[in-house]
Structure 1
């Protein structure tokens, strides 16, 4: 049994407006499975496919109060492309952001609802990821996060160290999942989180039990009336285990 990362869940005050921003930013299409939900994926995409990690934007009234612990890094192919992309994103409503990054070669930005993301300088590692280079998770211990997520998913572990760890689909396509050591502690539930899924035909209950045996916890969220499970990783980051697909 195994799972894989299939989408990112992002909360928003206005899911349609934020969905329109990210669709334009990534060149993706939008759909909706119901009121208050905007789904983003590449045009012509056959979900789920590791070539892309999709985005579900969900309407919620709570305000954003702290820096997100999960964010997207966007890929570029040249210095000119990075500059052009930053300008285009600003035209779409993004702003430059200061999260204490100092003098770095990438550009930190925030979307129209304040969600942080980075536009990276060109890096050979991300030349074939598509527009999203990486899904990045802040953490205290990248090694422990790598241990848990390497066992939880069938993705390939590419590096693990004291400062950073990364995984990518075993098929060698799509974005990386990266865990980066940061000094700030988790204080509120994550407005952006990972959604993972077993494969079609797998046993959902058995997979949830396996994740718990690896160290997944209960985040203490009311789960009545939903068909999926909300769990937390060893550092308390919420994630959803979706039905097999």
Structure 2
């Protein structure tokens, strides 16, 4: 095996604001560094407080997103609530797809699947 999955990373112009947005959207929290402050310019790690989801790093970059993501997150959730938090609708579910495609406040696309009972 040449590699194994470690973490996810999202690029962001305002990595602190986007980390906070994703924490609110998916119930993650900022990973603490044993109470030690991280420099503001460093990437921000967020994690699932229950320990089930992957660690996500929000990495600062100088450029805005300009093209479609080749890799994206899939989440189970409520599209209307995510839109109310500031996501934008990219593509509504329809005959050919059974999920909505949204974008976070910096344009990173993600798919939203309806919860199953």
TM-score of the two chains, using structure 2 as the length reference: 0.80
- Pick one of 22, 35, 40 that aligns with 2:40: 35
Give the superposed CA RMSD.
Answer: 2.5
Question: Does the residue aligned with 1:73 lie in a helix, a strand or coil?
Answer: strand
1:109 aligned onto 2:98:
no
**Pairwise CA distance, 1:43:** 1.7
- Alignment correspondent of 2:35: none
8 Å contact kept, 2:28–2:49? yes
* Bigger fraction of residues in helix: 1
- Alignment correspondent of 1:94: 87
- Which structure 2 residues correspond to residues 52-71 of structure 1 after superposition, within 5 A? 52-71=53-72
Question: Does the residue aligned with 1:112 lie in a helix, a strand or coil?
Answer: coil
- Alignment correspondent of 2:111: 118
Quick one: distance in 1 between partners of 2:102 and 2:56?
18
Count of aligned pairs between the two proteins: 110
* Bigger fraction of residues in strand: 1
Q: Which has the larger radius of gyration?
A: 1
> CA 1:67–1:4 in structure 2 vs 1: closer, same or farther (change >3 Å)?
same
- Alignment correspondent of 1:155: none
Quick one: distance in 2 between partners of 1:34 and 1:10?
18
The structure, 1 or 2, with the larger RCO (C-alpha pairs under 8 Å, 6+ apart) is: 2
Quick one: distance in 2 between partners of 1:20 and 1:95?
17
Quick one: distance in 2 between partners of 1:121 and 1:62?
32
Question: Does the residue aligned with 1:117 lie in a helix, a strand or coil?
Answer: strand
- Which structure 2 residues correspond to residues 65-80 of structure 1 after superposition, within 5 A? 65-75=66-76
Deviates more, 1:90-99 or 1:14-23: 90-99
Quick one: distance in 1 between partners of 2:39 and 2:55?
17
Question: Does the residue aligned with 1:64 lie in a helix, a strand or coil?
Answer: coil
> CA 1:65–1:43 in structure 2 vs 1: closer, same or farther (change >3 Å)?
same
- Which structure 2 residues correspond to residues 209-224 of structure 1 after superposition, within 5 A? none
Extract unaligned runs of 5+ from structure 1: 46-50, 76-81, 128-245
TM-score of the two chains, using structure 1 as the length reference: 0.40
**Pairwise CA distance, 1:2:** 6.0
